[in-house]
Amino acid sequence: MSVRWGIAGPGRIAATVAAEFAHVPDAELVAVGSRSLERAREFAGRFGIPQAHGSYAELFASDVDAIYLATPHGQHTDLALAAIEAGKAVLVEKSFTTSVADTEAVIRAGRERGVFVMEAMWTRFLPAIVRLRQMVADGELGEIRAVYGDLLAFREFEPADRLFNPALGGGAVLDLGVYVISFAQQFLGTPSLVHAVGGLYPNGVEGEAGILLGWDDGRYSTQAIGFTAPGPGRQVVAGTKGWVEVKPRFHRGEQLSVHLLGREPEELTLARTGVGYCHELIHVGECLAAGLTESPVMPLDDTLAVQQVMAEVLSQLGR
């Protein structure tokens, strides 16, 4: 089947994803919607999209099969619920929403309506991360005991920018923390302990955080996130038989450094196609062709678990 896609929200990330459709078989980007018809038309002209809609309601009422929801975090809930009500499959940009209650509402709506819904955690679909998960599943690393790393990305503080605007879901946790928490959660599951320290900008939005996640059997994950300093952006997955480093920057990683006990280290390169967003788009198409309403790679229970951890981190930081 060929999936007819529409994009809601013609911003920066939408432009990156739109270009990725050149690498996605059995998919067509046929529509874009915005609150501004002028912006929708400009975006459509830039990417050769046949339909431009001046409202999200018009987009959801059009003849698309799936919606890529690329608006700021704070708008995700209402738009995702509207798209689900219209019977459209929805790929929701991360962070999924800005609260646990909103995430639960979107998940409940998708399940009750029988509509496919997935968080756009593109890192899970990169060839290098797929290989790493297979190594773990095959027992090559033994029992996974720790995941540790960082995602530090220096940004000048601009209160009006989406990254720092609380009304738009700004802050390091929803923008960067979602990556590191989701990365750890896919290998260790949902933690029983969350501890966070960090600092806030003058407008009350967090700029940085150190996060410790713990499990009852002693497994742990330590993560650093922040806009206040640069960092490598790497992850290490450590097990009883060895460890693997996902080389910087891990969230778009292509290189694995494999260190297994009793064997020589091995360097693996697994290139992503295009920028890398096409891999999750291909996966959504495969899920729809198979009649699935949830992804086995990025299930909604994982999305909810990560949202709950982020909520606890934000609470401990004073948000």
Q: Tens of pLDDT along 267-306?
A: 999 999 999 999 999 999 999 999 999 999 999 999 999 9
In percent, the amount of the chain with pLDDT more than 90 equals 97
Q: What is the mean pLDDT of the chain?
A: 97
Among 23-27, 41-45, 102-106, 165-169, which stretch is predicted with the lowest mean pLDDT?
165-169
By C-alpha distance, which of 196, 208, 214 is closest to 147? 214
Lowest-confidence range among 139-148, 161-170, 218-227?
Answer: 161-170
pLDDT cut 70: percent of the chain above it: 100
pLDDT, tens digit (0-9, with 9 covering 90-100), for 207-218 = 999 999 999 999
Give the separation between CA 70 and CA 186, rounded to whole angstroms. 23
Mean pLDDT of 193-210: 97
Q: Give the H or E element holding residue 194.
A: strand 193-200
- Residues 6 or more apart whose CB falls under 8 angstroms from that of 3 comprise 26, 27, 28, 65, 66, 89, 284, 285, 288
Mean pLDDT of 222-243: 98
94 is catalytic: yes
- pLDDT grade for 167, boundaries at 50, 70 and 90: confident
Cα–Cα–Cα angle for 56, 57, 60, rounded to 5 degrees = 85
Cβ-count burial of 145 within 10 angstroms (0-12 exposed, 13-18 middle, 19+ buried)? Answer: middle
243 touches 237 (CB < 8 A)? yes
Residue 1 scores a pLDDT above 80:
no
Note the pLDDT tens digit of each residue in 19-74. 999 999 999 999 999 999 999 999 999 999 999 999 999 999 999 999 999 999 99
Rounded Cα gap, residues 249 and 77, in angstroms: 29
Amino acid type, 242: G
Could you tell me the strand order of the sheet in which 27-33 lies? 51-53, 27-33, 3-8, 66-69, 89-92, 117-119
